[in-house]
Structure 1
Amino acid sequence: MPAPFDDSAPDALRLRALRKSFDKGAGKCAVDGLDLAIRPGEFYALLGANGAGKTTTLRMVAGLLQPDDGEISICGVDARKNPLVAKAVTAWLPDEPLLYDKLAPLEYLEFVAGLWGLDNAEAAARAEDLLRRLGLWEQRNQRCEGFSRGMRQKVALAGALIHAPRLLMLDEPLTGLDAGAARLVKDMLTEQTRQGVAVVLTTHILEVAEKLADRIGIIAHGRLIAEGDLAGLRALSAAASASLEDVFLDLTARGVAA
């Protein structure tokens, strides 16, 4: 069911002419004048080959990289001029999240909640709710050092959600998860969009994007070369009834050639 978009609200994320180069002498940009707009409550999949600029884009939005040029607006806040305000409504989950192995999940969430200045009672209630929904309540007092990749990924997701962000960005969150853990994470993300949270997901598992995303953006060489729902992307492709995989390969091949 499509997310209930609020047309009166500012975009959850808007990028204008965003640019980043790591080797200015080579004349190549990792992100090259990227324009993007994502609405509150939208599930947006950002797809591209390795090195296309996906992670660099999200790291700039998260404030971990400084853009060379361009604008970043998060929920109507200029993230370059007011980074603390923008970060307060943003969460970023990288493909290799950092956990403190000597902490248990409950301790980790209490620590993260403290960084955001949450009231102790509110933090405890949110932590219990997240750990129960992610199937980690029984392990709440076990150290993370012995956890599987899937369990660590779920703890990291709980940490990203503890302060109730309005923009949630995830880089390959399903990599290495078993079917049960992947289903829990996907259900949690879908629930977030129903609550008005904008979810931006990068993934190489195209079936996930095909099933979950309201819109899909395809990026190549730091530029957005195609955007829309699956039907719209098919219309841009040579194969009108193709799978997302076929459409993606066709559009990226033509985008790169161009």
Structure 2
Amino acid sequence: MPTQAILVENLTKSYGKFRAVNGLSFEVQRGEVFGFLGPNGAGKTTTILSMLGIIIPDTGRVEILGMDMSRNPIGVKERIGYLPENATIYGELTAWKNLEFFANFYRMSNAEKEKRITELLKMVGLWEVRYRKAKTFSKGMKQRLLIAQTFINDPELLILDEPTSGLDPEGAHLVKRLIREAKAEGRTVFFSSHVLSEVEELSDRVGIIVKGKLKAVGTLGEIKRQFMELEGYEIKVETKEPLPEIEHSEITRVEPVGPNRAIIFARTDIREDLSKYLSEKGLTILKLDVEEPSLEDVFLRTIYGRDGE
């Protein structure tokens, strides 16, 4: 069995002269939560729709759960759950009937359908309103019903496009809980989001797409280290005694913060050299830490450049 739940190789898709996805390649491992980040128009939705076989890429290959999407789209779709960003429900149908409608697409007995629908409505907190028409639901309740629909076939892989969009804090908390539970059950979760804190909180690995190209991929720690290696290190130093003038070939600038504190910007991590230098000067080191960038720092500078403009 392949270790990847998703394998995307050299994916390209153009609309006229506009190239929405440009030579995109990445993998998502089985059992992990993968966060997919990018600004509007970056190619996130085009990538997702290509993964689902809803649109046909110009070049490239997509493999889902070991199956080639172009050769076995039905087999793939039987094993995945998909939540579009702007999904709709049938307003004239009750919550129960909405789920029953989608359950009919899968090979489930009536007893299995009843058991599954009951579990899902309770899971998303809609059991008490199961016989109400969906058109009477609030936006948050509709999103909960859509999330239940995504789980109807007990999928191995969840593909969620902006799953907390439009939800109140309680609804967003529910979605995050369900993502964690899905991982704990051994499912794979691929989700796109513009809420950086969600991606940071939930993801095992992250991919950042900009103008159709994957600019960074890896764990948050790996991406932050890649960013620091490219952008430089911000080192905070504090001593008991006043700091002397600090010089090093890797230092780009020093910003004093009082007589015994400074922020040192360097091309590489020079803490070992700094520690030796300050100790030789007879100084007591109180702090010598690298200021790790936030995901927001990485995201904004990846998209907009050094100054975030």
Q: Match of 1:155, as an amino acid? A: L
Structure 1 residue 10, shift from structure 2 partner: 3.4
Equivalent residue, structure 1, for 2:302: 251
Q: 2:12 aligns with which of 11, 15, 19?
A: 19
| Match status 1:73 vs 2:79 | no
C-alpha distance in 1 between matches for 2:77 and 2:166: 28
Q: Match of 1:228, as an amino acid? A: G
Structure 1 residue 122, shift from structure 2 partner: 1.0
C-alpha distance in 2 between matches for 1:131 and 1:137: 5
Structure 1 residue 252, shift from structure 2 partner: 2.2
Q: What does 1:62-211 align with in structure 2 at a 5 Å threshold?
A: 62-211=52-201
Q: Match of 2:158, as an amino acid? A: L
C-alpha distance in 2 between matches for 1:63 and 1:103: 28
Deviations 1:124-173 (A, max 9, x none): 11111111111110011111001111111110111111101112111111
Q: 1:40 aligns with which of 6, 10, 30?
A: 30
Structure 2 unaligned blocks of 5 or more: 235-290
C-alpha distance in 1 between matches for 2:2 and 2:109: 28
Q: Match of 1:244, as an amino acid? A: L
Equivalent residue, structure 1, for 2:251: none
Structure 1 residue 117, shift from structure 2 partner: 2.5
Q: Match of 1:131, as an amino acid? A: L
Structure 1 residue 89, shift from structure 2 partner: 1.1
Structure 1 residue 9, shift from structure 2 partner: 4.1
Deviations 1:169-200 (A, max 9, x none): 11111111111111111111111111221111
| Secondary structure of the corresponding residue to residue 26 of structure 2 | strand
Q: Match of 1:211, as an amino acid? A: E
Alignment size in residue pairs: 246
Structure 1 residue 104, shift from structure 2 partner: 1.0
| RMSD, matched Cα | 1.6
Higher relative contact order (CA 8 A, sep 6+): 1
C-alpha distance in 2 between matches for 1:39 and 1:50: 26
Q: Which has the larger radius of gyration?
A: 2
TM-score (normalizing by structure 1): 0.91
Contact 1:19 1:67 in 2 (8 A): yes
Which has the larger strand fraction?
Answer: 2
Structure 1 residue 33, shift from structure 2 partner: 1.0
Q: 2:3 aligns with which of 7, 10, 14?
A: 10
C-alpha distance in 2 between matches for 1:175 and 1:158: 15
Deviations 1:19-48 (A, max 9, x none): 11111xx2x310111101101111000000
Contact 1:101 1:145 in 2 (8 A): yes
C-alpha distance in 2 between matches for 1:127 and 1:188: 16
| Secondary structure of the corresponding residue to residue 218 of structure 1 | strand
C-alpha distance in 1 between matches for 2:184 and 2:305: 35
C-alpha distance in 2 between matches for 1:83 and 1:133: 29
Q: Match of 1:16, as an amino acid? A: E
Structure 1 unaligned blocks of 5 or more: 1-7
C-alpha distance in 2 between matches for 1:229 and 1:10: 17
Instruction: State the percentage of identical aligned residues.
Output: 38
| Secondary structure of the corresponding residue to residue 39 of structure 2 | coil
